[in-house]
């Protein structure tokens, strides 16, 4: 049989049948593309939210760690001294204090200085544990367990100390505002 000659006329039936599958496959492609776009947007929003939450939690952990480290360093600085180098001791402790605490330390330091200079005292400290009792954005309370050994011409003594150290954030850095001995 010979092929039918092309007369150049398309029937509406032939045209309608051939475009129907093209339209339905175009719809499927558009629907799949839209669904994928929605999933991509949802995934991006979720990722940004989770990253922000991770950053917030990391900053809070860093803040807790910095507060605890500051309290521990303070205990060591208070415990470690040489009676003949108390100027260095005073400046190293003062560097960690709030303005209010510096005033209190300045008032009590002369009595401490006289006794330790006369006895040629040498103090050493040893940390055992520390933990956050309470913390917010600008204040913290840290519990520090440490020992202080003081050797002097008056005799040697070992103190087992349990401090509650209160810190305030000053210009973004933790400073000691007060400490209490809970031994």
Domains and CATH numbers, the chain: 69-181 (3.10.450.230)
pLDDT at 20 over 80: no
pLDDT tens, residue by residue, 70-113: 999 999 999 999 988 898 999 999 999 999 999 999 999 998 89
Burial readout 131-159 (b: 16 or more C-beta within 10 A, e: otherwise)? eeeebeeeebbbbbbbebebbbeeeeeee
* CA distances from residue 163 to 91, 95, 129, 157 in whole angstroms, order as listed: 21, 19, 11, 18
Indicate the pTM of the whole model.
0.73
């Amino acid at each position: 049989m010979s092929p039918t000659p092309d007369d150049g006329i398309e029937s509406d039936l032939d045209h309608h049948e051939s475009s129907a599958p093209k339209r339905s496959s175009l719809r499927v492609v558009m629907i799949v593309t839209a669904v994928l776009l929605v999933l991509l947007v949802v995934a991006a929003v979720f990722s940004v939210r989770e990253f922000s939450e991770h950053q917030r939690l990391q900053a809070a952990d860093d803040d807790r760690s910095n507060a605890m480290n500051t309290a521990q360093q303070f205990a060591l600085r208070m415990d470690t001294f040489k009676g003949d180098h108390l100027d260095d001791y005073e400046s190293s402790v003062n560097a960690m204090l709030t303005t209010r605490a510096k005033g209190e330390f300045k008032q009590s330091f002369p009595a401490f200085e006289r006794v330790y200079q006369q006895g040629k005292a040498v103090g050493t400290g040893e940390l055992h544990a520390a933990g956050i009792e309470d913390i917010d954005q600008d204040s913290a309370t840290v519990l520090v367990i440490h020992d202080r050994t003081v050797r002097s011409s008056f005799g040697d003594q070992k103190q087992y100390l349990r401090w509650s150290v209160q810190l305030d954030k000053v210009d973004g850095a933790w400073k000691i505002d007060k400490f209490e001995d809970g031994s």
